[in-house]
């Protein structure tokens, strides 16, 4: 999905005062607008190491081998960096020897946030494989589609998810190995291999890893996105894409971490799902590259989440808007509970200024609030506000090595304070959509400028504000729901002739899917029956509980659904 990620950073007022003047100088020392109305980054270009993501993450291992890399928020089970390196190394060797994983093979990872997630991911990369991440709450119907599209050669999951996987494999008519990560005393399902044994195998033939031939320009991560519209497409992110983004957010003026030293290690809350690009890059890969500690929260519960902040002394918190609202209003969210936090990074959707102010009042501290913007297709970070810029609605200027355009409907460049579609170009932009030249042609235009599908406006300093979105994705609790997917499922019902889905405002979800259905002549069906039909096939956040029957779906001459007409008539 095109993932709109808003990065929010809160630091102490002392830090803000020290950095605000410097930030102001950097932004205003020269014009960021060219004569051709292209916005250049105000930051100095960063050097992008020519290596794989695996090599990049482990390059400073000798600085913090005994530090904790990941720990379970509930049980305290975890690994040091040295243990993670050795275990992922053995897992990688066994992927090559026992499962015949070759360079470029996709390996599906369908796991919640557990401390083993980074080890599984890095093992796949070291084996020369490509990670394709799957939401662990997906249904068999959703899983089988991604397994087929990605051509996954195997899948890593939890024992309790195996029945869903087996049903998905049956639907897809596939027969691939299943590896399970054992996190408790639950039995290992028959016919599966155990990650714990594969990673602890001291006899693993690690010499086989010398056969791996992967470069910085090879694909390493394959999340599935709906782009600006339509059904999910594989987003091909290379090692260089993600490494570039890690280096871009290392810029001191926008950095959200502190250096790991003998006396300090950042503790980063892993509440956002690692399968999502925001958490995968900004939280997991980047924070491992700087030696931080990841606290993995596998199942979200408000009290457990808030307790973990205090218990683990979490100083870096990355969340989506619903969690910001939770911290601003939940009785257990007190100034004392939130005291350890140095940095809050909000992602997935914009926040209203009033919501930010409520959180700051609850924290009882004057802190620096910043935002940014990004997408799955851009690894994800594109813009981040510099320290000291207090504009709640702003998402900042482009990060280093990044250009941006604001264009009209004819893709003609607009100027400062004019609203149009956001186009971007930089080393973090995806290689393309897997096996989808038509989608690539639509989104990568005029010399690899990526069309975000978002509407924005930038001021004279290149500071971007997101105005609206052109794309049709529905934002439900920070997750993106493509209308086309739900429409496709609705049309599978034997009584449905046509369907259209739009997003409507919802008090707690942000948005919620609303369906408009045309029944076949002579057929009868209730909204409840349709809801049950759809909801058993999709993850909970995609559920459709609001259905209206109509005589026909309004469409353009080209056959495209006129969703705005539906909003005007029925919402």
**pLDDT per residue as tens digits for the range 466-514:** 876 667 788 898 787 888 789 889 988 999 988 999 999 998 888 999 9
Mean pLDDT of the chain, nearest integer: 90
- Report percent pLDDT > 70 for the chain: 91
- pLDDT band (50, 70, 90) for residue 107: very high
- pLDDT band (50, 70, 90) for residue 351: low
Residue 182: how many CB atoms within 10 A of its CB? 15
Reported as a single tens digit per residue, the pLDDT across 522-564 is 999 999 999 999 999 999 999 999 999 999 988 765 456 888 8
pLDDT value at 230 more than 90: no
Task: Please name the residues in contact with 274: beta carbons below 8 A apart, sequence gap of 6 or more.
Answer: 111, 113, 117, 118, 121, 133, 280, 283, 284, 296
The one-character DSSP state at 398 is B
Q: Which residue, among 126, 153, 122, has the nearest Cα to 280 in the 3D structure?
A: 122
The pairing of beta strand 154-157 with beta strand 106-110: parallel
- Between CA 455 and CA 533 the distance in angstroms is 35
Prior bond to 380 cis, omega within 30? Answer: yes
Reported as a single tens digit per residue, the pLDDT across 403-430 is 999 999 899 999 999 989 999 999 999 9
- Between CA 459 and CA 565 the distance in angstroms is 32
Q: Which residue has the tokens 């999340």?
A: 223
Measured CA to CA in angstroms, residue 365 lies from 273, 334, 337, 340 at distances of 28, 12, 13, 12
- pLDDT band (50, 70, 90) for residue 229: low
- Between CA 322 and CA 303 the distance in angstroms is 14
> In the prediction, which pLDDT does 253 show?
94
> In the prediction, which pLDDT does 380 show?
95
539-545-550 Cα angle (round to 5): 125
Q: In DSSP terms, which residues pair with 413 in a beta bridge?
A: 407
Task: Please name the residues in contact with 432: beta carbons below 8 A apart, sequence gap of 6 or more.
Answer: 236, 440, 444
- pLDDT band (50, 70, 90) for residue 377: very high
The phi, psi pair for 339, rounded to 5°, reads -60, -35
Is residue 196 classed as helix, strand or coil in its secondary structure? helix
The phi, psi pair for 210, rounded to 5°, reads -70, -15
Q: Which residue, among 570, 481, 556, 477, has the nearest Cα to 517 in the 3D structure?
A: 570
Which segment of 236-245, 265-274, 461-470, 513-522 scores lowest on mean pLDDT? 461-470
Specify the fold of 474-570.
GMP Synthetase; Chain A, domain 3 (3.30.300)
Residue 514: how many CB atoms within 10 A of its CB? 22
Tokens of 47: 């050097």
Tokens of 485: 């997917």
Element (H, E) at 16: helix 13-28
């Amino acid at each position: 999905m095109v993932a709109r990620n808003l990065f929010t950073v809160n630091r102490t007022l002392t830090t803000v005062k020290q950095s605000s003047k410097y930030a102001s100088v950097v932004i205003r020392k020269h014009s960021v607008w060219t004569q051709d109305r292209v916005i250049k980054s105000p930051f100095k270009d960063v050097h992008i190491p020519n290596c794989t993501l695996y090599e990049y993450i482990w390059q400073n291992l000798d600085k913090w081998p005994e530090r904790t890399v990941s720990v379970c928020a509930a049980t305290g089970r975890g690994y040091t960096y040295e243990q993670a390196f050795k275990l992922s190394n053995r897992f990688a060797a066994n992927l090559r020897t026992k499962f015949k994983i070759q360079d470029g093979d996709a390996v599906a990872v369908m796991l919640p946030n557990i401390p083993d997630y980074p080890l599984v991911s890095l093992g796949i990369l070291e084996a020369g494989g490509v990670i394709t991440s799957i939401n662990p709450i997906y249904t068999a119907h959703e899983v089988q589609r991604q397994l087929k599209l990605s051509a996954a050669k195997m899948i890593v999951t939890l024992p309790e998810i195996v029945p869903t996987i087996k049903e998905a494999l049956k639907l897809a008519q596939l027969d691939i190995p299943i590896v399970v990560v054992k996190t408790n005393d639950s039995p290992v399902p028959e016919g599966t291999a155990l990650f714990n044994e594969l990673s602890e195998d001291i006899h693993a033939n690690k010499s086989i890893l010398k056969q791996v031939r992967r470069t910085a320009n090879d694909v390493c991560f394959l999340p599935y996105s709906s782009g600006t519209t339509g059904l999910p497409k594989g987003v091909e992110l290379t090692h260089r894409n993600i490494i570039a983004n890690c280096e871009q957010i290392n810029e001191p003026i926008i950095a959200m971490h502190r250096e790991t030293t003998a006396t300090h290690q950042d503790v980063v809350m892993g509440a956002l799902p690692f399968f999502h690009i925001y958490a995968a890059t900004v939280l997991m890969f980047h924070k491992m590259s700087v030696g931080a500690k990841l606290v993995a929260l596998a199942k979200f519960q408000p009290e457990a989440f808030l307790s973990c902040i205090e218990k683990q002394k979490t100083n870096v918190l990355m969340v989506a808007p619903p969690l910001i609202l939770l911290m601003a209003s939940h009785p257990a969210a007190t100034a004392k509970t939130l005291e350890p936090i140095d940095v809050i990074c909000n992602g997935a959707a914009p926040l209203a200024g009033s919501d930010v102010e409520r959180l700051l009042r609850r924290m009882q501290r004057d802190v620096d609030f910043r935002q940014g913007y990004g997408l799955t297709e851009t690894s994800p970070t594109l813009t981040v506000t510099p320290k000291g810029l207090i504009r709640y609605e702003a998402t900042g200027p482009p990060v280093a090595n990044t250009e941006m355009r604001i264009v009209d409907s004819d893709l003609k460049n607009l100027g400062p304070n004019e609203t149009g579609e956001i186009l971007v170009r930089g080393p973090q932009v995806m290689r393309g959509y897997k096996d989808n030249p038509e989608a690539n042609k639509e989104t990568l235009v005029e010399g690899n400028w990526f069309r975000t599908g978002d509407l924005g406006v930038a001021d004279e300093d290149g500071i971007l504000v997101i105005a609206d979105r052109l794309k049709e994705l529905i934002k439900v609790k920070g997750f993106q729901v493509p209308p086309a997917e739900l429409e496709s499922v609705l049309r599978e019902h034997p009584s449905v002739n046509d369907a259209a889905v739009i997003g409507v405002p919802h008090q707690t979800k942000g948005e919620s899917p609303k369906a408009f259905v045309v029944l076949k002549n002579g057929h009868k069906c209730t909204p409840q029956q349709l809801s049950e039909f759809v909801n058993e096939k999709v993850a909970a956040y995609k559920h459709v509980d609001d259905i209206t029957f109509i005589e026909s779906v309004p469409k353009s001459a080209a056959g495209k659904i006129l969703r705005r007409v539906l909003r005007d008539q029925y919402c």
